């Protein structure tokens, strides 16, 4: 347990504290109490920068479940640190912003709990070396994202968006787990470091391409790459601080992180390189193209995020070439530098843009660009910030977006000059896509500025527009300031953040000694690319009314969203049909299915495997046991014959007591005690359940003899007896009891082995059983309460009707 | 309980509803059962018993009162929200295994020590007890919640 482990777990601990506090104390906005958490973590992580940029890595092990290789191992290099700082830094700014954005009437407690859980999850994803733990935290980000998108759960669109994001990201995450397991099968370790060391094994193995595809599924779904990008625009129903934080600055970059982290492992494989490069470039262009037509400000920003993520992804693909081929190392190192630099820049400018959009939404009541316009004089501060950040996104000098964009263009253009097999004939496509995508980016950036703040002033807004409050303006102002600072002095970052991160991605120990400059001379192709992007973009923007009609050809039913909706709809129909056919509401037929299956498979396995029964080891049967068995048989017979429910319940209890007496005879007092307690409770439970049973006794209908039922029950009885006998006479494995008996005192300081097994040796089982028990109780409570409410509503309706 | 039985067609049971014997006895027996439940729970590590049985017995003690009286009276006697018990139980059974991180040991590794007390002599202290307390509370809370809820449904 080190300070870093604590830093990861701190937000969750704070979430519990805030949840409790929020219940009893609501005088101040609870966000002020959440704010110090990311701030502290950010400060702590910042103190690690000098060590890490000096080429050090921090590797802390902590056993969690060592037997299955799931350890809480921390590995911090430049790459992890970059992401961790982004997560905690932007987290602090977003928390501050949300204090102004969300009113006190909202359920702030839940909001900050979800947000803090997300922080832990995200920090875990980027700082942990063990892939199983990484998967755990990965899914936790999906869950917290789901909860945050559905924060306004009364709104149908929020629920739709939340469900969509959850289904898609969890689908990918689950496949990714498959990839991790394949890697484990190949290398025998769950540690990423260990996998890098076992690189030759992975390179030889036939299964490696499968692992690549599966892991990329995880990365592409999380980072909203084509064709999985459809969840991100719908996730914009979340409150704007969430969009700024999860869906632009951090969570969607988890996929990028994953790809960067696995670059040293998979870069040898051309499948990995080309998948990332092509998917990334295509996503970038396609999303930027679609972004232009959006009228919803946040939808536009969402697609723009998708596009920028594609850009970073393609750069990583290009960079992977450098690790694999070693050809023209300079260029590909530049690609990775650009990727890292752009991750940072994108977080600053896109975070600020989202926050400003939130201010516009908050103060005007709409984020439809058709309704907005001419806010220039009303919101001067927001305008300034939008101008700076949107121009940075468009890649206009001297902002930081320009620098990374130019590095990107340079890398993409010079790919044509490098020598790769099979690439030469297609080499023009890569830079062409890059430039086209950049032109679209330029157009929507300009549209964002122009349509909201310039143009004709509109007056029919839901609220009278005014400048946002100071609390809301601080966070985007800080980010905008960073855009300016890193635009003018990019080399502040290069030694401290970028170089260590690049070393982390490339798994090399030599610093690339990056130096970023604004001016590369007239012969730089990137300069001319930028110039042409600006000129073509401006021309297209001016003439946009002439060519925007092409979007009309993109019909609703050809979109991926439509396909997703249809898939969901038909799977719902299908499962409905299936359940309707199987679940007819009669417990008797369910039991028939269950026991019938048991009998069939039991018989099959007996036939195929055979069974040996050995009566030699059996102990003699005593008189007491015979009496108990007779009592059981008699009471069972009574249950079958009796007409009274009361009698059958009491008889059922008697069966239980007889069985527990048997346990006593067999010297198992723990079992007997538990059985007795259970029988008591169950009898009481049956008594209170009387109310729900149909009024007429089941015995009024004559019980007919049914052959199937008879066969199944007979089969169950016979099979169980035989299995019991066979299990006793044929021991395939050595019994574990001896281990328990020997260690019960030394290891656990206990005297009662049964209980020690429960709480210690097999504590996990108990833990999960407890959880199941609790969930069952709460589930029953919810079902009953919902039922009550519905009945209550109906009653109310009836009374209203009767009054009329 | 009264009207449930009535609805189920047991009109004769009604006479016994204010059964003084049952009510008086249950008040006494309640304490016996609950003491036994706690005894089983604490002794669980060395002699038969443990959190699960203890929880069930504690719940059955309360259910006895529920049968003898009704839910409202029971709530007046022992005003606890069963949901809170479940939450506390789940929290304990999750938090105690996690706390083993503080000792630098894997998840769910228990710590134990012996304590010398003036009157009682040597007493073993075991973190498994806290974990078992979580089991105890969850089991008792869930059982009570279910039965009290189904019982109270009619009103």
pLDDT at res. A180: 93
pLDDT at res. A332: 74
Which of helix, strand or coil describes residue A618? coil
> Of A394, A397, A396, which Cα lies nearest the Cα of A443?
A394
State whether A354 and A372 are in the same domain.
yes
Residues paired with residue A74 on neighbouring β-strands, in sequence order: A60, A128
In the block, residue with structure tokens 């028939």 = A592
Q: How many C-beta atoms surround the C-beta of residue A694 within 10 A?
A: 6
CA A405, CA A347: separation in Å to the nearest integer?
14
Cβ contact B88:B55 at 8 Å: no
State whether A216 and A295 are in the same domain.
no
Q: Do A759 and B131 touch (CB under 8 A)?
A: yes
Is residue A722 situated within a structural domain?
A: no
State whether A384 and A463 are in the same domain.
yes
Q: Output DSSP code: residue A128.
A: B
Write out the two tokens for A645.
Answer: 């429910």
Element spanning B114, H or E: strand B112-117
Q: CA nearest A3 in B: which residue? A: B102
- Between positions 47 and 106 of B, the ones with CB within 8 A of A are 47-53, 56-57, 59-60, 63, 66-67, 82-83, 86, 89-90, 93-94, 97, 101-102, 104-106
- Name the residue among B44, B143, B147 with its Cβ closest to that of A752: B44
A·B CB contacts under 8 A: 178
DSSP A386-441: HHHHHHHHHT-TTSHHHHHHHHHHHHHHHTTTS--TTTGGGTTHHHHHHHHHHHHH
Is residue A625 situated within a structural domain?
A: yes
Q: Do A784 and B101 touch (CB under 8 A)?
A: no
State whether A294 and A428 are in the same domain.
yes
Average pLDDT, chain B: 81
Q: CA nearest A771 in B: which residue? A: B90
Cβ contact B106:A63 at 8 Å: yes
- Name the residue among B8, B106, B138 with its Cβ closest to that of A773: B138
Q: Do B46 and A750 touch (CB under 8 A)?
A: yes
Task: Give A526-568 pLDDT, tens digit per residue.
Answer: 788 888 888 888 888 888 777 777 777 766 667 788 888 889 8
CA A474, CA A494: separation in Å to the nearest integer?
26
- Name the residue among A677, A690, A780 with its Cβ closest to that of B56: A677
Q: Do A64 and B106 touch (CB under 8 A)?
A: yes
Q: CA nearest A762 in B: which residue? A: B108
Contacts of B138 in chain A (CB under 8 A): 770, 773-774, 777
pLDDT-derived band at B32, boundaries 50, 70, 90: very high
> Which of A124, A773, A792 to substitute to test the interface with B, most B CBs within 10 Å?
A773
Print the domain residue range for A773: 737-804
State whether A295 and A313 are in the same domain.
yes
> Of A416, A257, A258, A265, which Cα lies nearest the Cα of A331?
A416
State whether A786 and A754 are in the same domain.
yes
Cβ contact A754:A673 at 8 Å: no
Q: Do B53 and A677 touch (CB under 8 A)?
A: yes
> Which of A756, A774, A775 to substitute to test the interface with B, most B CBs within 10 Å?
A774
Is residue A172 situated within a structural domain?
A: yes
Given CB atoms, is B5 within the 8 Å cutoff of chain A? yes
Is residue A557 situated within a structural domain?
A: no
State whether A90 and A141 are in the same domain.
yes
Q: CA nearest B58 in A: which residue? A: A677
State whether A2 and A78 are in the same domain.
yes
Q: CA nearest A775 in B: which residue? A: B142
Cβ contact A575:A696 at 8 Å: no
Is residue A232 situated within a structural domain?
A: no
Q: Do B8 and A62 touch (CB under 8 A)?
A: no
Task: Give A110-130 pLDDT, tens digit per residue.
Answer: 899 999 999 999 999 999 999
**Domain-ending residue, one of A682, A701, A720:** A701
Q: Do A65 and B110 touch (CB under 8 A)?
A: no
Cβ contact A337:A417 at 8 Å: no
Contacts of B112 in chain A (CB under 8 A): 748-749
Peptide bond into A109 cis (omega under 30): no
State whether A184 and A42 are in the same domain.
yes
State whether A149 and A187 are in the same domain.
yes
State whether A512 and A644 are in the same domain.
no
Is residue A434 situated within a structural domain?
A: yes
> Of A225, A238, A231, A110, which Cα lies nearest the Cα of A163?
A231
Instruction: With a cut of 70, list the residues of chain A below it in pLDDT.
Output: 1, 322-329, 416-427, 554-557, 691-705, 787-804
Domain count, chain A: 4
Q: How near does any CA of chain A get to the CA of B119, in Å?
A: 22
Which of helix, strand or coil describes residue B117? strand
State whether A248 and A273 are in the same domain.
no
> Of B131, B90, B107, B51, which Cα lies nearest the Cα of A16?
B90
Give just the sign of the alpha carbon dihedral B15, B21, B24, B27.
negative
> Of A504, A463, A406, A400, which Cα lies nearest the Cα of A82?
A504
Classify burial at B99, counting beta carbons within 10 Å of its beta carbon; exposed 0-12, middle 13-18, buried 19 or more: middle
Q: Do A1 and B101 touch (CB under 8 A)?
A: yes
CA A614, CA A617: separation in Å to the nearest integer?
7
**Domain-ending residue, one of A485, A520, A542:** A542
Question: What are the residues whose beta carbons fall under 8 Å from the beta carbon of A214, sequence distance 6 or more?
Answer: A175, A176, A178, A179, A182
Contacts of B142 in chain A (CB under 8 A): 773-774, 776-777
- Name the residue among B90, B106, B124 with its Cβ closest to that of A66: B106
- Name the residue among B5, B46, B124 with its Cβ closest to that of A752: B46
- Name the residue among B97, B131, B150 with its Cβ closest to that of A688: B150
pLDDT at res. A801: 39
Find how far residue A2's CA is from the centre of its chain: 26
Q: Do B151 and A688 touch (CB under 8 A)?
A: yes
Is residue A347 situated within a structural domain?
A: yes
CA A667, CA A368: separation in Å to the nearest integer?
75
Task: Give B85-133 pLDDT, tens digit per residue.
Answer: 999 999 998 888 888 777 777 777 787 777 777 777 777 778 888 888 9
Q: Do B134 and A778 touch (CB under 8 A)?
A: no
In the block, residue with structure tokens 């009885």 = A717
Given CB atoms, is B125 within the 8 Å cutoff of chain A? no
User: In this structure, what are the phi and psi dihedrals at residue A762, rounded to the nearest 5 degrees?
Assistant: -120, 45
User: Percentage of chain B with pLDDT > 90?
Assistant: 22
Give just the sign of the alpha carbon dihedral A201, A207, A212, A215.
negative
> Which of A24, A644, A663, A688 to substitute to test the interface with B, most B CBs within 10 Å?
A688
Residue B19 has pLDDT above 90, yes or no: no
Contacts of A65 in chain B (CB under 8 A): 106-107
Is residue A593 situated within a structural domain?
A: no
Cβ contact A765:B131 at 8 Å: no
Q: Do A781 and B132 touch (CB under 8 A)?
A: no
pLDDT at res. A114: 92
**Domain-ending residue, one of A513, A542, A571:** A542
> Of A123, A147, A55, which Cα lies nearest the Cα of A500?
A55
Q: How near does any CA of chain A get to the CA of B139, in Å?
A: 7
Angle at A132 between CA A126 and CA A137, to 5 degrees: 45
pLDDT at res. A800: 39
Q: CA nearest B56 in A: which residue? A: A677
> Of A290, A432, A433, A455, which Cα lies nearest the Cα of A370?
A455
- Name the residue among B50, B108, B153 with its Cβ closest to that of A784: B153
Q: Do B146 and A777 touch (CB under 8 A)?
A: yes
């Amino acid at each position: 347990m080190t300070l870093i482990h604590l830093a990861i777990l701190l937000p969750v601990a704070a979430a519990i504290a805030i949840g409790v506090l929020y219940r009893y104390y609501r005088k101040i906005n609870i966000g002020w109490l959440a704010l110090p958490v990311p701030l502290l973590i950010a400060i702590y992580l910042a103190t690690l920068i000098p060590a890490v940029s000096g080429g050090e890595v921090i590797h802390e092990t902590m056993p969690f479940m060592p037997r299955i290789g799931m350890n809480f191992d921390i590995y911090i290099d430049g790459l992890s640190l970059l992401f961790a700082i982004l997560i905690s830094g932007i987290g602090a700014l977003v928390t501050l912003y949300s204090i102004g954005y969300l009113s006190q009437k909202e359920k702030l407690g839940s909001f900050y709990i979800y947000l803090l859980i997300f922080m832990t999850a995200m920090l875990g994803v980027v700082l942990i070396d063990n892939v199983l733990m990484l998967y755990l935290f990965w899914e936790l980000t999906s869950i917290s994202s789901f909860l945050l998108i559905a924060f306004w759960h009364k709104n149908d669109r929020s629920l739709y968006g939340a469900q969509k994001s959850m289904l898609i990201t969890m689908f990918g995450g689950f496949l990714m787990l498959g990839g991790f397991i394949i890697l484990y099968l190949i290398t025998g370790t769950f540690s990423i470091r260990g996998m890098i060391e076992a690189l030759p094994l992975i390179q030889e193995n036939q299964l490696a391409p499968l692992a690549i595809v599966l892991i990329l599924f995880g990365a592409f779904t999380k980072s909203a790459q084509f064709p999985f990008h459809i969840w991100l625009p719908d996730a914009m129903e979340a409150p704007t601080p969430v969009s700024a934080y999860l869906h632009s600055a951090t969570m969607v970059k988890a996929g990028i992180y994953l790809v960067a982290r696995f670059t040293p492992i998979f870069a040898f494989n051309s499948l990995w390189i080309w998948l990332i490069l092509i998917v990334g470039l295509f996503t970038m262009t396609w999303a930027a193209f679609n972004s232009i037509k959006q009228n919803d400000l946040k939808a536009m920003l969402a697609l723009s995020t998708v596009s920028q993520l594609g850009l970073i992804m393609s750069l990583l693909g290009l960079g992977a070439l450098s690790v694999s081929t070693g050809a023209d190392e300079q260029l590909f190192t530049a690609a990775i530098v650009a990727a890292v630099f752009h991750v940072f820049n994108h977080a600053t400018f896109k975070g600020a843009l989202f926050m400003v959009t939130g201010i516009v939404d908050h103060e005007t009541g709409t984020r439809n660009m058709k309704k907005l316009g001419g806010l220039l004089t009303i919101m001067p501060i927001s305008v300034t910030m939008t101008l700076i950040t949107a121009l940075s996104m468009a890649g206009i000098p001297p902002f930081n977006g320009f620098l990374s964009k130019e590095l990107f263009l340079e890398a993409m253009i010079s790919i044509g000059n490098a020598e790769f097999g099979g690439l030469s004939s297609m080499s023009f496509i890569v830079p062409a896509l890059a430039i086209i995508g950049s032109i679209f980016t330029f157009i929507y950036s300009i549209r964002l500025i122009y349509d909201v703040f310039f143009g004709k002033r509109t007056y029919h807004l839901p609220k009278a527009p005014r400048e946002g409050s100071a609390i809301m303006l601080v966070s985007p102002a800080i980010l905008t300031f960073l855009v300016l600072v890193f635009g003018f002095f990019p080399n502040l970052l290069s030694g401290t953040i970028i170089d260590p991160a690049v070393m982390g991605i490339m798994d090399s120990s030599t610093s690339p000694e990056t130096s970023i400059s604004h001016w590369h001379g007239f012969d730089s192709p990137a300069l001319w690319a930028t110039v042409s992007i600006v000129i073509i973009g401006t021309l297209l923007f001016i003439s946009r009314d002439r060519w925007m009609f092409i979007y009309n050809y993109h019909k609703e039913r050809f979109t991926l969203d439509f396909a997703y909706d249809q898939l969901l709809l038909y799977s719902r129909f299908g499962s409905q049909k299936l359940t309707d056919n199987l679940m007819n509401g009669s417990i008797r037929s369910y039991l028939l299915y269950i026991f019938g299956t048991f009998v069939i498979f039991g018989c099959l396995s007996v036939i195929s495997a055979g069974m040996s029964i050995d009566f030699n080891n059996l102990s003699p049967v005593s008189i007491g046991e015979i009496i108990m068995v007779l009592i059981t048989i008699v009471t069972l017979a009574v249950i079958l014959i009796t007409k009274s429910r009361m009698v059958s319940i009491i008889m059922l209890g008697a069966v239980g007591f007889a069985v527990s007496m048997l346990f006593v005879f067999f010297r198992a007092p723990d079992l007997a005690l538990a059985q007795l307690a259970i029988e008591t409770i169950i009898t009481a439970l049956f008594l209170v359940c009387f109310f729900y049973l149909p009024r007429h006794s089941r015995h009024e209908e004559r019980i007919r003899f049914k052959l199937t039922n008879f066969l199944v029950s007979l089969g169950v009885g016979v099979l169980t007896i035989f299995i019991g006998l066979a299990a006793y006479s044929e021991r395939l494995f050595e019994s574990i009891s001896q281990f328990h008996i020997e260690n019960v005192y030394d290891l656990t300081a206990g005297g009662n082995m049964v209980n020690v097994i429960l709480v210690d040796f097999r504590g996990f089982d108990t833990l999960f059983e407890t959880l199941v028990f609790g969930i069952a109780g709460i589930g029953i409570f919810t079902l009953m309460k919902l039922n009550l409410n519905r009945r209550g509503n109906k009653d109310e309706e009836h009374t209203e009707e009767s009054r009329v | 309980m009264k009207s449930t039985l009535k609805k189920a067609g047991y009109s004769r049971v009604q006479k016994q509803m204010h059964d003084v014997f049952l009510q008086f006895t249950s008040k006494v027996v309640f304490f016996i059962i609950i003491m036994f439940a706690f005894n089983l729970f604490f002794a669980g590590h060395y002699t038969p018993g443990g959190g699960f049985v203890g929880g069930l017995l504690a719940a059955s003690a309360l259910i006895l009162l529920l049968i003898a009286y009704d839910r409202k009276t029971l709530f007046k006697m022992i005003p606890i929200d069963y949901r809170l018990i479940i939450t506390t139980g789940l929290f304990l059974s999750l938090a105690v295994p996690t706390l083993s991180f503080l000792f630098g040991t894997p998840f769910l590794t228990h710590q134990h020590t012996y304590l010398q007390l003036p009157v009682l002599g040597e007493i073993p202290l075991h973190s498994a007890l806290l974990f078992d307390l979580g089991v105890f509370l969850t089991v008792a809370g869930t059982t009570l919640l279910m039965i009290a809820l189904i019982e109270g449904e009619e009103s």
